[in-house]
Structure 1
Amino acid sequence: MWQGPMVPMPTILVAEDDPAIRRAVEQSLLLEGYQVVAAGDGLEAVAAVRRDNPDLLVLDMMMPGLDGLAVCRVLRAQGDRTPILVLTARTLVSDRVAGLDAGADDYLVKPFEPEELLARLRALLRRAAPGVGPDNPAGDQLETAGVRLDPSARRAWRCGAEITLSRTEFDLLELLMRNRGVVLDRATIHERIWGYDFGAGSKNLSVFISYLRRKLAHPNAPEIIHTVRGVGYTIRAS
């Protein structure tokens, strides 16, 4: 029975200067059916992006020559919006925020489990897929307390000024705004945004919330993302 043409699996670029880690990540991706392009440093990564046009990038933060953050900045400055996951051995929140500031969509702290890496990649690929999904109906704009969101165009404004959000930041803000006034627990947010519950000990969500608050801050407007201690987060006007 004819089932139509086969859809090729996404191509993922893995840029990591540690050969053992690079091979381990590459093997995990190949076993899942992904096509993989490997690079040993940032310069190779930039060249591979231009040559192979991958669907997603996995970049080590610390690489010789051109590190992962520099690669992010170069690509974003060129208008390249390919999803980027940064790998880092650094655990400080400031280091993770630096990755988001450079244009990364997500980060993963070493050492990590292959299952978590794959879950994060699946989430990034889903959000990068074209089309309008059930949580993103066309023409549906969201607005509260001076924040306006256009999901179909993936644009956001605070008090009339447009703000630049990464893919993950936008999805997180959209989820909270669609559930305005409802307290969403951390497990629910993890599942909806990343497709995987990272557990109570993960700082992943708190870093994104902190960074999103910074971008939404305005001297003439109130804080709208509120923490409900021991539960999760909600959006409300005051």
Structure 2
Amino acid sequence: MRVLILDDDEELGSLMQPVLAKYGMALSLSHAPSQAFEQLDRDAFDVLLLDMMLPELDGMAVCRAIRSSGKPYAEIPIVALTARAELTDRIVALEGGFDDFVAKPVEMRELVARIGAVVRRKRDDGGVVAPEPEADAHSGLHLSPTHMSAVYGPYAVNLTELELRVLTALADAEGVILSRADILTHIGYTEQSDPAMIDTIIYRVRQKFRDQGLASDFIKTLRGQGYCIKAEQNS
């Protein structure tokens, strides 16, 4: 597996190289966005580790440039490396096109697990657009992978990939309560992943529907147990 890291801390990448090599990962180093783009243009990588705080461009700007580039690497899995891992920072990273994030200082076993998870999800997706699902008769929720959207009653919102995955897992459960760990498994993450990620994603989905005028939540929280979609539409 080929991994590219973009981080202006030159020592960090050098320390990571021998550790990742033990797991069959060849790490290439770049210390500035311009250098990283040259390497992406020249070589094929399986995943990009991207520092959120860079001197030329911040990590969000680099991620946006990659996603909108129209080049073969536009869909490369990107893992954010960040010294800030509060709720707002996680939301910004996930909404901005990152596939996952790892807090600094980096714990190498966690990093290896997250790299493996994002690469597996990309491989399993296979670049194939899923067929449009039928309306979920249990909840009244309509999900569209093609249009990356959700419709609940008269309310429609656009979704990120992770939001779509979470809603699909809940809809498929047909009212059965899913714990955060259950949902993480359904969306392709491992037990090493931060379960608070699910809270973040569900918060964003709820907020999107509230912004459209939905007064009550169709995603039900059961304290200490997890989440499910309500059996009856309440708009």
1:35 alignment counterpart? 26
Paired letter, 2:135: E
Q: TM-score, normalization: structure 2? A: 0.79
The answer as to 2:133 corresponding to 1:141 is yes
Give 1:45 deviation, angstroms: 2.1
CA, structure 1 residues 212+36, in 2 after alignment: closer, same or farther (shift >3 Å)? Answer: farther
Paired letter, 2:187: I
Which residue among 24, 40, 43 is the counterpart of 1:49?
Answer: 40
Q: Deviations over 1:131-175 (max 9, x none)?
A: 67xxx9964615345643345x48333358562413x33322221
Give 1:184 deviation, angstroms: 0.7
CA, structure 1 residues 140+32, in 2 after alignment: closer, same or farther (shift >3 Å)? Answer: same
Give 1:71 deviation, angstroms: 0.7
C-alpha distance in structure 1 between counterparts of 2:110 and 2:134, whole Å: 31
1:204 alignment counterpart? 197
C-alpha distance in structure 1 between counterparts of 2:147 and 2:114, whole Å: 20
Say whether the 8 Å CA contact 1:13–1:38 is kept in structure 2.
yes
Q: TM-score, normalization: structure 1? A: 0.78
1:124 alignment counterpart? 118
Say whether the 8 Å CA contact 2:142–2:150 is kept in structure 1.
yes
Say whether the 8 Å CA contact 1:14–1:58 is kept in structure 2.
yes
2:226 alignment counterpart? 232
User: Which 5+ residue runs of structure 1 have no aligned equivalent?
Assistant: 1-8
Matches within 5 A, 1:59-70: 59-70=50-61
C-alpha distance in structure 1 between counterparts of 2:25 and 2:215, whole Å: 45
Matches within 5 A, 1:1-238: 9=1, 11-79=2-70, 80-129=74-123, 139=131, 141-144=133-136, 147-150=141-144, 153=146, 155-158=148-151, 161=156, 163-166=158-161, 168-198=162-192, 203-217=196-210, 218-220=212-214, 222-236=216-230, 237-238=233-234
Paired letter, 1:181: G
C-alpha distance in structure 2 between counterparts of 1:44 and 1:221, whole Å: 48
1:3 alignment counterpart? none
CA, structure 1 residues 202+182, in 2 after alignment: closer, same or farther (shift >3 Å)? Answer: closer
CA, structure 1 residues 160+28, in 2 after alignment: closer, same or farther (shift >3 Å)? Answer: farther
Give 1:94 deviation, angstroms: 1.5
User: Which 5+ residue runs of structure 2 have no aligned equivalent?
Assistant: none
C-alpha distance in structure 1 between counterparts of 2:36 and 2:129, whole Å: 35
CA, structure 1 residues 119+86, in 2 after alignment: closer, same or farther (shift >3 Å)? Answer: same
C-alpha distance in structure 1 between counterparts of 2:213 and 2:94, whole Å: 23
